[in-house]
Amino acid sequence: MEARTSFSHYEILAAIGKGGMGEVWKARDTNLFREVAIKTLPPEFARNPEHLSRFRREARAASALNHPNICIVYDLGEHEGQPFIVMELLQGETLRERLERGPLPLDEALDLSMQLADGLDAAHSAGILHRDIKPANIFITDRGAAKLLDFGLARDQAAASEAAPTVDVTAVGTVMGTISYMSPEQARGEKLDARSDLFSLGVVFYEMLTGRPAFAGNTSAIIFEQVFNKVVDSPARLNPRIPKELDRVVYELLEKSRDLRPSSARDLKISISRIRRDSEARLAARSDSQEKSIVVLPFENLSPDPDNEYFSDGLTDEIITDLSQIASLRVISRSSSMQLKGSSQDLKTVAAQLNVRYVLEGSVRKAGNAVRVTAQLVDPESNRPLWAEKYSGKLEDIFEIQEQISRKIVDALKMRLSPEEDRKLAARPIDNIEAFECYQRARYEIYKFTEEGLDKARELIETAIALVGDNELLYASLGTLYWQYVNAAVKADDGYVKRAEELAQKVFSLNPDSGPGHALMGMVRQNQGQPQEAVRSFKRALEIDPNNVYALGEIARVYMCVGVEQARKAYADCVKADPLQLIVHVGAYAVELWFGNNNFVQGEGLRFLRAVPEFPMMRWPVAMSFINDRRPHDAIQVLRPLSEKSPTVAGRACRFLRLALEGQLEDAKSCFDLDLLSRAQNVEFWSFWVSECYAFTGETDLAIDWLETAFRKGFWHYPYVSKHSTAFRKLDGRPRFEDVLARIKTAWEQFEP
């Protein structure tokens, strides 16, 4: 069959697609003047009685059903010995194609689930089992309608219950994806009923909600073993937005025993309908008293001097800081906001990406001592400005301008400030304009995370302190800067952490309950290998300021390295506050790696790496997940794209691992020179990475030495070291390793999150 040919009353227009069991063509029905799809069976299959029977069965089963969620079959015929089916022409994509972009939003997933359950109910009510439900056999039209396709394996329920179908995993037309969606009883070749289709639908729902398959593997044997025995991870744990009721329904659909599943597609439809109703009610209630949320986009620098970029960034920072003081307003953090500098995305896309309700944008022009600021608050859904204003003044007026903008936002969003929040908005942490400029320039340099940038920032903050004397914010900023030298593995000197501790004490001498002071002390205690004390400090910092992103991120890191369940919730909070910050996502994936959730890390991590390929800190957990699954070739493929000359600890550790996997052990060892090791030993997770590298290559004494270092610095993740890491299994039974492991276990058990 070719385009621009005709037969009967059909004119072939163009090819649509080709699969293992046939070709699909776009055609015109010249009798009814409508476009249709024609599916043909290739001659080699038409000669096979089994394939021909399946083809005809598909047409007859679907044509017996008239339902909006089942693809309509109009005709069945034969042309020059080639069988064909005429179906409705659908515009859109398959669910498989849609899932390539990630999990579906909850409202879309519930809508499609309702439609699919309804379509399946119609088929079952007509006595037809589908038996091949999978994303490739589900079509989503441009209008959002779900359509069940390909009834080629369908059987009437009486026939299916009398004779069990055989499953030939090597047959033409049977693909691995099909096996992944089979019920246990179908995979065993047992008698089937409607509940087998419900299991397959549950596997589809699971993937729609989480973005990852419920059962996956490289061979049919691995997949069958999972279908028979694996208890899947909770969808709600992988996607916290999933309601508990929906989580329970998916679990029931995936029960290994059909007696524990919903009894019918109709019952399933009723359950989903209730969940959808409750979800919509919650959304409606939330919109009435909707969480106010905002992102402050980087103010555009319109100054004649491009070096004034620090000033526009500084104003953005200060407005974010001001708004973060308001408990009822969720504010996206500075690091995620700055990721959008120069972005051409429309505001609606930005808001959806960050899950916020409002967007503030503006510009700054600074020329000499004159300043002009424009700002507007926008509702991105309607693209309507809620408030807009221009401010002109002198440099020393910037404090007043900043406060006015923040208060105008509060008014526009109809929010009420508590007396304490009002006081914080009016506060001037640095009331000297020259010192304030130094502070702004310093923050600009700090966020470069380079030794040169940190050095410049230190000079600027010390200059600011010389101008104003004792200052809580400046001391806390300088202390955080000293801690960052060590944390970012820029310096190897413990003296930097001691200096940070001295500055924390100076902060407390000015304000005994300083939020920035508690956050700084938490960082100090964390680096000193005192996780319990660090958590106490971070908790107090967050009680004072729930939007303190340093405290939020570092308490999550402590929980991650100690190995407690609270790490998951802490990183979910971090992602909510700082959704574009790469290091936050690394932490979330490391949590899953260290809890042994390798499938999640591989599925989500690989998708993440496609967006940010040059990021070694993400490649490490993904590669380790493959190593722990004993798939070294896949780990090599993950590590190979990285630059050979990466100077960072993460980059060098990844190169070490790749070379070791390729059998180049001496080259691998050369990746860790004395300078790098001296910097890595001051940070708990860098020390642990080095230890795991040495364990992997069989350097037993070095591996245990570095594990001891990691333990002293606060790495107490007993579940990973004792169970999930394959590298450390090479050390099992060795007295020194067992001694360190016992001390890790004791610390892990005694830790109080």
The region of weakest confidence among 285-289, 337-341, 388-392, 547-551 is 285-289
Coil, helix or strand for 386? strand
What pLDDT is attached to residue 541? 95
Point out the domain boundary residue: 285, 305, 335: 285
If asked whether residues 124 and 181 sit together in one domain, one would say yes
User: Could you tell me if residue 697 is inside a domain?
Assistant: no
For the cut 70, the answer to whether the pLDDT of residue 177 exceeds it is no
What pLDDT is attached to residue 284? 56
Alpha helices for 595-734 (secondary structure H): 598-611, 616-628, 632-639, 649-661, 665-669, 674-680, 684-696, 700-712, 718-719
Q: What percent of the chain has pLDDT over 90?
A: 56
For the CA atoms of 5, 11, 14, 20, the dihedral, rounded to the nearest 10 degrees, stands at -90
What pLDDT is attached to residue 377? 95
Point out the domain boundary residue: 391, 406, 428: 428
pTM of the model: 0.63
Alpha helices for 211-300 (secondary structure H): 220-229, 235-238, 244-253, 265-288
Please provide the distance, in angstroms rounded to a whole number, between the alpha carbons at the two ends of the chain: 68
Across residues 380-389, what is the average pLDDT? Answer: 88
CB neighbour list of residue 707: distance below 8 Å, 6 or more residues apart: 688, 691, 695, 721, 728, 737, 740
Question: In which element (H, E) is residue 295 found?
Answer: strand 292-296
What pLDDT is attached to residue 681? 94
Distance, in Å, from the CA atom of 431 to the CA atom of 436, rounded to the nearest integer, reads 7
Higher-pLDDT residue of 706, 646: 706
Question: In which element (H, E) is residue 155 found?
Answer: strand 155-156
Alpha helices for 289-432 (secondary structure H): 309-324, 334-338, 347-354, 398-412, 419-426
CB neighbour list of residue 110: distance below 8 Å, 6 or more residues apart: 246, 272, 275, 276, 279
User: Hey, what are 424's tokens?
Assistant: 């914080």
Q: pLDDT tens across 653-704, in order?
A: 999 999 999 999 999 999 999 999 999 999 999 999 999 999 999 999 999 9
For the cut 50, the answer to whether the pLDDT of residue 104 exceeds it is yes
What pLDDT is attached to residue 346? 85
If asked whether residues 66 and 179 sit together in one domain, one would say no
User: Could you tell me if residue 542 is inside a domain?
Assistant: no
Query: 483 to each of 501, 502, 677, how far by Cα in Å?
Result: 9, 11, 18
What pLDDT is attached to residue 170? 34
Q: pLDDT tens across 712-752, in order?
A: 999 999 999 999 999 999 999 999 999 999 999 999 999 99
The region of weakest confidence among 46-50, 373-377, 565-569 is 46-50
What pLDDT is attached to residue 155? 53
Domain residues for 226? 100-285
What pLDDT is attached to residue 692? 96
CA 326-331-332 angle, 5° bins? 160
Distance, in Å, from the CA atom of 193 to the CA atom of 461, rounded to the nearest integer, reads 73
User: Could you tell me if residue 364 is inside a domain?
Assistant: yes
The region of weakest confidence among 183-197, 210-224, 606-620 is 606-620
If asked whether residues 178 and 228 sit together in one domain, one would say yes
Distance, in Å, from the CA atom of 61 to the CA atom of 746, rounded to the nearest integer, reads 63
The region of weakest confidence among 216-220, 310-314, 741-745 is 216-220
- Max avg pLDDT among 51-55, 372-376, 411-415: 372-376
Query: 491 to each of 123, 397, 494, how far by Cα in Å?
Result: 67, 39, 9
If asked whether residues 136 and 20 sit together in one domain, one would say no
What pLDDT is attached to residue 69? 92
Calculate helix-pair angle for 472-487, 515-527, nearest 10 degrees: 20
Higher-pLDDT residue of 579, 455: 455
If asked whether residues 36 and 121 sit together in one domain, one would say no
User: Could you tell me if residue 566 is inside a domain?
Assistant: no
Helix, strand, coil content of the chain in percent (nearest 5): 55, 15, 30
Distance, in Å, from the CA atom of 9 to the CA atom of 16, rounded to the nearest integer, reads 19
For the cut 80, the answer to whether the pLDDT of residue 612 exceeds it is no
Burial of 646 (0-12, 13-18, 19+ CB in 10 A): middle
Number of domains comprising the chain: 3
Burial of 213 (0-12, 13-18, 19+ CB in 10 A): buried
Q: pLDDT tens across 48-102, in order?
A: 787 777 777 767 777 778 889 998 888 888 888 888 889 899 989 999 999 988 8
Confidence tier at 165 by pLDDT (50, 70, 90)? very low
Q: pLDDT tens across 499-516, in order?
A: 999 999 999 999 999 999
If asked whether residues 271 and 300 sit together in one domain, one would say no
What pLDDT is attached to residue 285? 53
For the cut 80, the answer to whether the pLDDT of residue 154 exceeds it is no
What pLDDT is attached to residue 103? 87
Burial of 715 (0-12, 13-18, 19+ CB in 10 A): buried
The region of weakest confidence among 14-18, 33-37, 116-120, 161-165 is 161-165
Higher-pLDDT residue of 283, 373: 373
User: Could you tell me if residue 321 is inside a domain?
Assistant: yes
For the beta carbon of residue 733, count every other beta carbon within 10 angstroms. 8
Confidence tier at 564 by pLDDT (50, 70, 90)? very high
What pLDDT is attached to residue 19? 62
211: domain CATH number is 1.10.510.10
311: domain CATH number is 3.40.50.10610
For the cut 50, the answer to whether the pLDDT of residue 164 exceeds it is no
Confidence tier at 171 by pLDDT (50, 70, 90)? very low
What pLDDT is attached to residue 172? 36
If asked whether residues 360 and 275 sit together in one domain, one would say no
Distance, in Å, from the CA atom of 200 to the CA atom of 98, rounded to the nearest integer, reads 18
For the cut 60, the answer to whether the pLDDT of residue 156 exceeds it is no
What pLDDT is attached to residue 697? 94
If asked whether residues 151 and 204 sit together in one domain, one would say yes
Distance, in Å, from the CA atom of 376 to the CA atom of 320, rounded to the nearest integer, reads 14
If asked whether residues 180 and 56 sit together in one domain, one would say no
User: Hey, what are 287's tokens?
Assistant: 């919109």
If asked whether residues 325 and 231 sit together in one domain, one would say no
Sheet containing strand 34-40, edge to edge, reads: 6-7, 10-19, 22-29, 34-40, 82-88, 73-79
Q: pLDDT tens across 252-290, in order?
A: 999 999 999 999 999 999 999 888 888 776 655 555 445
Point out the domain boundary residue: 235, 256, 285: 285
CA quadruple 28, 31, 33, 38: dihedral sign? negative
Distance, in Å, from the CA atom of 523 to the CA atom of 530, rounded to the nearest integer, reads 10
For the cut 50, the answer to whether the pLDDT of residue 9 exceeds it is yes
Confidence tier at 325 by pLDDT (50, 70, 90)? confident
**110 close to 146: Cβ distance less than 8 angstroms:** no
What pLDDT is attached to residue 153? 52
User: Could you tell me if residue 719 is inside a domain?
Assistant: no
If asked whether residues 279 and 300 sit together in one domain, one would say no
User: Could you tell me if residue 446 is inside a domain?
Assistant: no
264-286 in b/e form (b: 16+ CB < 10 A) is bbbebbebbeebbeebeeeeeee
The chain-wide mean pLDDT, for the chain, equals 88
What pLDDT is attached to residue 700? 96
Burial of 369 (0-12, 13-18, 19+ CB in 10 A): exposed
User: Could you tell me if residue 149 is inside a domain?
Assistant: yes
Residue 361: DSSP 8-state: E
Higher-pLDDT residue of 40, 268: 268
If asked whether residues 173 and 150 sit together in one domain, one would say yes
Higher-pLDDT residue of 629, 608: 629
CB neighbour list of residue 254: distance below 8 Å, 6 or more residues apart: 199, 202, 203, 206, 214, 232
Give the residue carrying structure tokens 């017996």: 64
For the cut 90, the answer to whether the pLDDT of residue 459 exceeds it is yes
What pLDDT is attached to residue 381? 81
Calculate helix-pair angle for 495-510, 515-527, nearest 10 degrees: 160
